[in-house]
Amino acid sequence: MKEIFFVGAGGMFGAVLRYLIIKFSIFNLTFPINTFIINIIGCFLVGVLIKYSSISNKELSNMINNFMIIGFCGGFTTFSAFSLDSINLLNESKYLLFLSYMLSSSIVGIIFCYIGLNIIK
């Protein structure tokens, strides 16, 4: 039950921060720079947190994983989870699976987003 609380609390903070960054944008570009920045920050944080978690004691490592990685980064950006899964496939030398995951996630994700936007007329 404690793990669920940490994931939920982290997710709330991540989602609120994402909202604030998008809402109070100082950029007025056609390129979605705020989402790009959020995704890059999230990917960087996941990398740092995974490394730090691996050298921490078990209790701190669990808290980092639940609150920060799954919760905060998951609420802040799902791109960080996609990036981590991709890196794990590369680290396991599963290059074909890596390529198929990258392409299918991107292409199918965009297609399904399009379908979702257009399914209700």
State pTM to two decimals: 0.76
Evaluate whether 53 touches 67 at the Cβ level (below 8 Å): no
- Give pLDDT tens digits along the chain (121 positions): 899 999 999 999 999 999 998 888 777 777 778 888 898 999 899 989 988 888 889 988 999 999 999 999 999 997 888 888 899 999 999 999 999 999 998 999 889 879 988 887 7
First to last CA, the chain: 42
Smallest CA-to-CA distance from 77 within 8, 27, 17, 9 is with: 17
